[in-house]
Amino acid sequence: MTEQVDNSVFSIERQENGIAHLVMDVKGDTMNTLKGEFGEQITAILKELKDDSGITGIVVTSGKPDSFVAGADINMLASCQTAEEATTLSRQGQMVFDQMENFPKPIVAAINGACLGGGLELALACHTRICSDNPKTALGVPEVQLGLLPGGGGTQRLPKLVGIQKALDMMLTGKQLRAKQALKAGLVDDVVPNSILVETAEKVALKGKVKRKPLKRSLMDKVLEGNAFGRKVVFDQATKSVLGKTKGNYPAPLKIIDCVRVGAERSPAMGYQVEADHFGHLVMTPESEQLRNLFFATTDMKKEDGVEGIKPEEVTKAAVLGGGLMGGGIAFVTATKAKVPVRVKDIAHNGINAALKYSYDILNKKVKRRFMRHSEMQKQMAAITGTLDYSGFKDSDIVVEAVFEDLSLKQKMVADVEANCSEKTIFASNTSSLPIGQIAANAERPENVIGLHYFSPVDKMPLAEIIAHEKSSDQTISTTVAFAKKQGKTPIVVQDKAGFFVNRILAPYMNEAALILLEGEPIEKVDKALVKFGFPVGPMQLLDEVGIDVGAKIGPILKAELGDRFTTPDAFGRLIDDGRLGKKANKGFYLYGKAAKKGKKQVDESIYQLLGITPAGKMSEDDIAKRCVYMMLNEAVRCLDEGIVRNARDGDIGSIFGIGFPPFLGGPYRYIDEVGATNIVSQLNQWANQYGDRYKPCDALVAMAENGKTCYDA
């Protein structure tokens, strides 16, 4: 017998053995999320189950096939006008979960699939947790990624279950644990196949409320967490680590540490109170607002086709031209993320071996860490094959080209693919600078040619630029966008113009950093200024990572197409002549190899003499960051005005995922709207008078300032 409650989100299924299944299923949604109005429903259900003498235990489960509860519904935070309102939401959640924790009958969570955020807090309030060994089962508290903290008691219950250090690690990073990791950490009590998950949970519930065995901890953990002095060391170290990584730009991590500290040092009751207060405060911070904007933007993009109304063709087989670093990475994400068989072609066996080794090294590491079975690794490796000719290419739905940045070579690749593949095969070029229209200039089927620009390393960088030239068909665009999504990428569609979007806005930023260096600012100071602003690495280190020679190649292409503002400093030619190509050559702005001291990044001081400068360091870090960033903002507005990106949202996502623009600022367009076009124009004009025309604000930015418009109005 099944009883539906309220709007059918929750149902009670009474079993003959006296166990009741409390099933959550938010109709119309692919995943369960917790909403504010559910509190009263759960309270009513718990009362009913408590009063029913025929019920001896409860199993909480999900009506979704591969999802337990994915978290709280973030939309409800938007309606909060004050911190007090958000604090009230947190307290309501705490009270509901408190009822579950103190329920007189055993409650067992049967977890299959995503159990995140508020979903994990719900599971923590249960007396026992059993999870499935489904690869999609993942447990975590990712609220920090939205500028928030677990507000339903998670900051108090999680440390009790897994220890303070493990709890802080989970909450401060948002990392998710797979089933076996969760079992080892003490987060769940058992891991079983999904086919017997509910049955196992029932058996546990039938035993009644069993006193939980204390978590097995190492001697060091006991020393650190078992006394006030040891805990102080843990909290101080966590604070130091957080500030080192965030530079104080993100308030949530420090609030998380404070919640755990209060709960451990004073009392759980005070911990819950501080948690709710901090949650309310964080909801109203600009950092959380921008991070939530980013979350909504990426969620919306996942639902969109490349071209509205044009459904993608299914890609069942893919191929890659070139077995180098990029080709190997593309093959890896195709076989392992997209689950599409991929054929790699190279001119030499070494290239094929390199591509296979790329995947083998990553997968073997997962096997060694017990994240993956060896049999699964073999299965995924079998999806990647190699060839020195075009055998096996005929039935490829898409061929991704990842050869050298040479126009004639890429044009030859187009001709080869057209000769050896079907009439529908898409040719996608992973070029970072060459116009796609030129690559397709001699194509018999130019409508099948498109740009698919990945960022290195391919297995880690989330962005892909889809570059459509004038003749790319809508079908080709939609299919390529869908293919990139299957590979785990967040794709943005950009116009076919020099530099596309990401490199185009990055170039003025990098050039400005170089000019500031030549004005006499130390390398480490320039990098520190931009890291403090919120970038993951500074521009000089980034140039070392990407390759100084790569930057030198892109510069002239951008200058020829877009004008003198993309002129790179002549002095940088001396770096190339000196063999300073960056990290790959063990010679760049920083020391590498044997010359570098372990654990500390050191500037190669000899570079100053090579460039003919004596570092004086007269500028403030704020001015350094502002000059570099404002050059990027000016170019970003040009790109929006020219239609290089479809809208401000896509540009913000591309900037954050492609070059690490500070997420807490929401992207360049959100940042422009926050600072105000009028203020940016005024500052650029001031610099133009001081330093020259390269600072002159573009017409579109001036028009925005004059008309009181924003980027998101456009």
By annotation, the residues acting in catalysis are: 465
Say if residue 261 is exposed, middle or buried (CB neighbours under 10 Å; 0-12, 13-18, 19+).
Answer: buried
Give the integer Cα–Cα distance in Å for 663 and 627. Answer: 19
Three-state helix/strand/coil letters over 334-402: HHHCCCCCEEEECCCHHHHHHHHHHHHHHHHHHHHCCCCCHHHHHHHHHCEEEECCCCCCCCCCEEEEC
CB-based contact 423:445 (threshold 8 Å) = yes
Which of 490, 481, 494, 433 lies closest to 463, judged by CA? Answer: 490
Which of 371, 315, 308, 319 lies closest to 343, judged by CA? Answer: 319
616's tokens: 């004086």
Which of 589, 592, 619 lies closest to 605, judged by CA? Answer: 589
Give the integer Cα–Cα distance in Å for 335 and 553. Answer: 32
Point out which residues pair with 307 in neighbouring strands. 310
CB-based contact 120:133 (threshold 8 Å) = no
Longest CA pairwise span in the chain (Å): 87
At residue 662, what is the residue type? Answer: P
Which of 148, 25, 139 lies closest to 77, judged by CA? Answer: 148
Rounded (10°) angle between helices 539-546 and 523-533 = 100
Question: Kind and range of the H or E element at 11?
Answer: strand 10-14
* Three-state DSSP state, 456: coil
Asked if omega into 268 is within 30° of 0 (cis), the reply is no
Q: What angle do CA 505, 509, 513 make, to 5 degrees?
A: 165
Percentage helix, strand, coil, to 5, in the chain? 55, 15, 35
Beta-strand (E) ranges in 198-294? none
* Three-state DSSP state, 463: strand
Q: Please, which residues have CB within 8 angstroms of residue 93's CB and are 6 or more apart in sequence?
A: 34, 39, 72, 118, 121, 151, 152, 153
